[in-house]
């Protein structure tokens, strides 16, 4: 089946893209508004897009209803230019899901979900204490493109619970963290527990050796 995206509705396009760009990491983002009120919400239109400098990008849609008005997370990041990305594990899934409810701006989702925070090292926004790792970020820019917005952030500090760091690399013990990924909407997620397998990277010499041996 082919889809001409000039003929699909925004909702159909959304369904196609979230079903095809999978699995997606989840950025569980904490922010503050100018009055200091905390906010937390999950975003899976998310990835790192650079390491020098370390950059992340997040796609944030509009608040439900008329107008092109960004969700609280996007508004807070524009106002304070700071945010924290917290990782979501299997056991934190239900609490993360509570933070996706479309509460009014004055509601602190962290209180609703019963989540404590810890102060961050560099930014004024706290991290979620039960999350195994958090990325402290400063907004580089927010690009408004049509009715979409992409937030580009620079990671300025990283916190990882000690048990998940192999100091040799340092490497992250991602196989022990049990983070979850978002799939095609409809409440579908994937686990990473016991799901790791290896495809070792090849050099050209490795590849040539294999050709010769075949
Ligand atoms: C796992 C998950 C991923 C989500 N990803 C996005 C996303 O990438 N972009 C977006 O605009 N909304 C996304 N949402 C919806 C927002 O979390 C939801 O609209 C939330 O209420 C926004 O909160 P805020 O207004 O406090 O920022 C996602 C929801 C879930 C459950």
Tell me, rounded to whole angstroms, the distance of Cα 55 from its chain centroid: 12
Separation CA 179–CA 132 (nearest Å): 9
- What is the token pair recorded at 173? 């013990």
Question: How do residues 159-205 score in pLDDT, each as one tens digit?
Answer: 999 999 999 999 999 999 999 999 999 999 999 999 999 999 999 99
The pLDDT of residue 105 is above 90: no
Query: Which DSSP category does 91 fall into?
Result: G
Model confidence at 4, pLDDT cuts 50, 70, 90, reads: very high
Level-2 CATH architecture, domain 10-213: Roll (2.30)
C-alpha 41 to ligand 1 mean position (Å): 6
Helix (H) or strand (E) holding 76: helix 72-80
Residue written as tokens 């950025």? 27
CA distance 74 to 63: 10
Q: Measuring from atom 7 of ligand 1, which residue has the nearest CA?
A: 43
Per DSSP, which regions of the chain are E strands?
27-32, 38-43, 46-51, 54-60, 82-86, 117-118, 127-128, 133-145, 148-160, 165-166, 171-172, 180-182, 189-191
Q: What is the pLDDT of residues 27-78, one digit of tens each?
A: 999 999 999 999 999 999 999 999 999 999 999 999 988 889 999 999 999 9
CA distance 60 to 151: 7
Cα angle 92-49-22, degrees, rounded to a multiple of 5: 50
The pLDDT assigned to 159 comes to: 98
- Ligand 1 centre to CA of 163 (Å) is 29
Instruction: Tell the residue nearest (CA) to atom 4 of ligand 1.
Output: 43
| Closest Cα to atom 14 of ligand 1 | 43
């Amino acid at each position: 089946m082919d889809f001409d995206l000039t003929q699909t509705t925004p909702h159909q396009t959304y369904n196609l893209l979230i079903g095809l760009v999978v699995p997606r990491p989840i950025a569980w983002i904490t922010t503050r508004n100018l009055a200091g009120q905390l906010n937390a919400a999950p975003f899976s239109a998310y990835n790192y897009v650079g390491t020098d400098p370390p950059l992340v990008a997040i796609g944030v849609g509009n608040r439900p209803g008329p107008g092109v008005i960004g969700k609280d997370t996007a508004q807070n990041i524009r106002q304070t230019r700071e945010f924290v990305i917290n990782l979501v594990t299997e056991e934190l899934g239900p609490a993360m899901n509570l933070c996706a409810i479309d509460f009014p701006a004055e509601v602190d989702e962290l209180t609703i979900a019963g989540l404590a925070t810890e102060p961050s090292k560099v930014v004024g926004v706290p991290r979620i204490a039960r999350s195994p790792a958090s990325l402290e970020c400063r907004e580089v820019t927010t690009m408004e493109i049509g009715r979409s917005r992409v937030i580009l952030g620079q990671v300025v500090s990283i916190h990882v619970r000690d048990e998940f760091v192999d100091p040799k690399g340092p490497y992250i013990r991602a196989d022990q963290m049990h983070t979850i990924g978002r799939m095609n909407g409809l409440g579908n997620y994937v686990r990473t527990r016991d799901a790791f397998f290896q495809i070792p990277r090849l050099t050209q010499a490795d590849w040539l050796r294999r050709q010769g041996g075949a």
